[in-house]
Chain A
Amino acid sequence: MSAVRDRVSQVAAHMNATGRAGLLEKRPDDIVVTTALRTAITKGGKGGFKDTPGADLLHGAFTSLLQRSGINPSLVEDIAVGCVLAPGGGATEFRAAALAAGFPDSTAVKSLNRQCSSGLQACVDIANAIRSGMIEIGIGAGVESMSTQYGPAAVTEFSELLENNKAAAECKVPMGVLSEQMAKDRHVSRQDQDKFAAESYRKAGVAQKQGLFKEEIAPLKVKWTDPKTDEEKEITVEVDDGVREVTEQSLGKIKAAFSKDGSIHAGNASQISDGAAAVLLMKRSTAERLGQNILGKYVAASVVGVPPLLMGIGPWKAIPVALGKAGITKDDVDIFEINEAFASQCLWCANELGLPMEKINPKGGAIAFGHPLGCTGARQVSTLLYELKRTNKRVGVTSMCVGTGMGMAAVWVAE
């Protein structure tokens, strides 16, 4: 009978369509996203969340996720939270936030930090844990309160040993400075950067007006102190307040931030922001058993290293690796969500990979509405999946460059 079994598995293997067709197939062991949401993203130090601690933002994302998904919190076995700036990684307050949000003590929580890709890493960690059978249901999340935690304290002083090692010392070159140098070396002109940035603002503005962020944003009630009157009031934050009207010309007038003859400035780099995002992941078989609504699935992810001084090229290296793992080519992808850390690096990666501009960040990106470091990777998931669904497209990629010279990318399919 073993010949029979062999023949059956051979024919079954023939049905493992590769490429896009294979990707679009639905299998019971797919890792699916049943809920993906985020808080609004607000301006650091000024915006709606300026007085809200990171753990409270996360608490808001958790409670909204439980509400929207209707999942029994005791079924969630693990939560991974990406965060960059919180002392101690935020491990203690994130566990506390989960308990406060209604998760029982049986739900484990960890925090992790892979710089700007922390939110994506959290989702990937949970997906991998589900795939390996370690857990059945989990949440990948990300949070950052740059208003309360951004500053020099986030990085430990380098030891003499590190300072004396050239490659090691390069890890602490500020990102603006190294990106400025990279823009110069790779010939990304100020004009092109400003054009790209203005386009990000325009796309985000249009999307906001059309209400395209409504599905992904969970409104959050927070306390907020009016800087003029010092009066504390309760407000509901449901809009990304960094989005504003700009043009290429108006951006052209802003002074370069990192060097006199530089090209990078506040208008063509990502904003300092606050926000949180959460993604509920499980196997398709589990989702169907629980009657969860499936938004899309996670397919594959990649992480790569690049020279620390060229950290901006991370997506250029990471995206083809992720596509290769998913067995597709760039032409099979409908939307790329590439984090706009700087217009210069995002633009360079897109051009170098030969990606058509209309496929990149169709609702704008971090230049327009901000880059709360640890949150971004998880934020991109909801932005991507809802946009794919709305436009009746299927395959998307999220990617970002990572400080100290890394890149991450992941392939997702909307349903």
Chain B
Amino acid sequence: MLEFRTAGFNPYSVKYSPFFDSRLAVSAGANFGLVGNGRLFILNLTANGIVCEKFFETQDCLFDLTWSEQHENQLLTAGGDGSIKLFDIGVGEFPVAGWQEHNREVFSVHWNLVNKGTFLSSSWDGTVKIWSPERKESITTLPVHSCVYSAQFSPHHPDVVTCVSRDSHLRVFDLRTKPSAQNHLTLAIPIHAPPKVAVPGYGNVSAGPTECLTHDWNKYRDSVLATAGVDGVVRTFDLRVPSGPVNMLTGHEYAVRKISWSPHLSDVLLSASYDMTCRVWTDGSNVDQGGNGAGLGREMGRMDRHTEFAMGVDWCLFGAEGWCSSCAWDERVLVWDVREYMRPA
């Protein structure tokens, strides 16, 4: 396990570079992001541990970041002051571009993995905005009317956008549809709906709405997503059966702040929670692992070395299939191998 200290700053998000297996970026804020400056760390994994290659200072906390899919030295940040900034590692100490449309904290930014010429942002102001790095103004604004904690492009389709929000809904937008009255909204799934098929140990009753803080698209199955939030339950959804969750993975004692599907295995995902643990789960869909398609999900292991709220987690796209990185309010970024924390079934 490798460790880096973000002294004086509490990390909110960690992301591996899609271009280099040794490069990481961490967005953070002073004073737990409540008040004060933000900082973007560019980290390198070296033979001597994790080394900070460069950092950028901002005037407000950076709640999220995403690497550019077009340029290996560029990355975007989500600012507490409503700004989105594009930094270039090779260029000075200031951002090379900036966008200011959101009225409140920006909580997530995500680069389009298919059409690499667009990115999106989501904000506490209740909107998701689609942008092009070439344009000063946003291309589209998708109203959600509730604090949007996380928004993403589908990794399978350039025009499909999803987001999760405080109002306990997973929304699916299709930018090919006419804007008309629906504003491209094609689905709004209540996350707290009881599962169609009762999940053992959970019953068939909804426990009521819960703020949804994070979601992620499965990288292999193009209709599958996972969500998680304040109730600590990781749920998987299949957009072909959108009425309720397919699987409910329970175990986290407090809110789950971030989840991420494995780029290597179609059934595995990681979560980071306010209960200070990062856990690795299977949704039971992998037949080889004893699942039966829509089988029973379970926790496969947990990493509990963080000593404060775990906020971010990301998988390394390269090399062996278990390397990942996590960050927490204990001012630490940890790089570790999930396989070391797996328990036998």
Q: Taking beta carbons and an 8 Å cutoff, which residues of A are in contact with B?
A: 3-4, 7-8, 10-11, 13-19, 21, 320, 323-324, 327-331
Q: How far is the CA of A7 from the CA of B205 in the complex (A)?
A: 32
User: Residues of B contacting A320 with CB < 8 Å?
Assistant: 205
User: Residues of A contacting B147 with CB < 8 Å?
Assistant: 10
A316 to chain B, nearest CB (A): 13
Instruction: Please tell me if the beta carbons of A15 and B274 are within 8 angstroms of each other in the complex.
Output: yes
Give chain B's interface residue range (CB within 8 Å of chain A). Answer: 20 to 34
A1 to chain B, nearest CB (A): 8
Assuming the contacts A4-B35, A7-B33, A8-B34, asked whether A17 and B231 have C-beta atoms less than 8 A apart, the reply is yes
User: Residues of A contacting B211 with CB < 8 Å?
Assistant: 13-14
A359 to chain B, nearest CB (A): 13
Instruction: Please tell me if the beta carbons of B207 and A327 are within 8 angstroms of each other in the complex.
Output: yes
10 A/B residue pairs, CB under 8 Å, sorted by A: A7-B33, A14-B213, A17-B231, A18-B207, A18-B208, A18-B231, A19-B207, A324-B208, A329-B205, A329-B207
Q: How far is the CA of A8 from the CA of B202 in the complex (A)?
A: 31
Instruction: Please tell me if the beta carbons of B254 and A329 are within 8 angstroms of each other in the complex.
Output: no
Instruction: Please tell me if the beta carbons of B231 and A15 are within 8 angstroms of each other in the complex.
Output: no
B80 to chain A, nearest CB (A): 8
* B255 interfacial by beta-carbon distance below 8 Å: yes
- A3, A17, A327: the one contacting B208 at CB < 8 Å is A327
User: Residues of B contacting A7 with CB < 8 Å?
Assistant: 33-35, 80, 105
Residue ID in chain A nearest B257 by CB atoms: A14
Q: How far is the CA of A323 from the CA of B207 in the complex (A)?
A: 8
User: Residues of A contacting B319 with CB < 8 Å?
Assistant: none
* B210 interfacial by beta-carbon distance below 8 Å: yes
Instruction: Please tell me if the beta carbons of B205 and A330 are within 8 angstroms of each other in the complex.
Output: yes
Which DSSP category, helix, strand, loop or mixed, fits chain A's interface? helix
Instruction: Please tell me if the beta carbons of B203 and A329 are within 8 angstroms of each other in the complex.
Output: yes
B16 to chain A, nearest CB (A): 25
In the complex, which residues 201-251 of chain B have their Cβ closer than 8 Å to any Cβ of chain A?
Answer: 201-203, 205-208, 210-211, 213, 230-233
* B32 interfacial by beta-carbon distance below 8 Å: yes
* B93 interfacial by beta-carbon distance below 8 Å: no
User: Residues of B contacting A8 with CB < 8 Å?
Assistant: 34
- Per-position binary interface string of chain B over residues 175-215, scored 1 when its CB falls under 8 Å from any chain A CB and 0 otherwise: 00000000000000000000000000111011110110100
User: Residues of A contacting B206 with CB < 8 Å?
Assistant: 324
Q: How far is the CA of A18 from the CA of B211 in the complex (A)?
A: 10
Instruction: Please tell me if the beta carbons of B32 and A11 are within 8 angstroms of each other in the complex.
Output: yes
User: Residues of A contacting B105 with CB < 8 Å?
Assistant: 3, 7
Instruction: Please tell me if the beta carbons of B254 and A15 are within 8 angstroms of each other in the complex.
Output: yes
- Per-position binary interface string of chain B over residues 146-182, scored 1 when its CB falls under 8 Å from any chain A CB and 0 otherwise: 0100000000000000000000000000000000000
* B53 interfacial by beta-carbon distance below 8 Å: no
* B253 interfacial by beta-carbon distance below 8 Å: yes
Instruction: Please tell me if the beta carbons of B254 and A328 are within 8 angstroms of each other in the complex.
Output: no
Q: How far is the CA of A81 from the CA of B23 in the complex (A)?
A: 69
Q: How far is the CA of A14 from the CA of B206 in the complex (A)?
A: 19
Q: How far is the CA of A180 from the CA of B274 in the complex (A)?
A: 53
Residue ID in chain A nearest B81 by CB atoms: A3
Assuming the contacts A4-B34, A7-B105, A21-B254, asked whether A13 and B230 have C-beta atoms less than 8 A apart, the reply is yes
Q: How far is the CA of A8 from the CA of B206 in the complex (A)?
A: 28
Q: How far is the CA of A320 from the CA of B254 in the complex (A)?
A: 24
Instruction: Please tell me if the beta carbons of A331 and B232 are within 8 angstroms of each other in the complex.
Output: no
In the complex, which residues 45-103 of chain B have their Cβ closer than 8 Å to any Cβ of chain A?
Answer: 80
User: Residues of A contacting B231 with CB < 8 Å?
Assistant: 17-19
Assuming the contacts A13-B230, A19-B231, asked whether A323 and B205 have C-beta atoms less than 8 A apart, the reply is yes
Q: How far is the CA of A22 from the CA of B28 in the complex (A)?
A: 28
A325 to chain B, nearest CB (A): 9
Instruction: Please tell me if the beta carbons of B230 and A331 are within 8 angstroms of each other in the complex.
Output: no
Residue ID in chain B nearest A323 by CB atoms: B205
Besides A7-B35, A324-B208, A329-B203, 6 new A-B residue pairs in contact (Cβ under 8 A), listed by A number: A7-B33, A13-B230, A14-B230, A15-B254, A324-B205, A327-B208
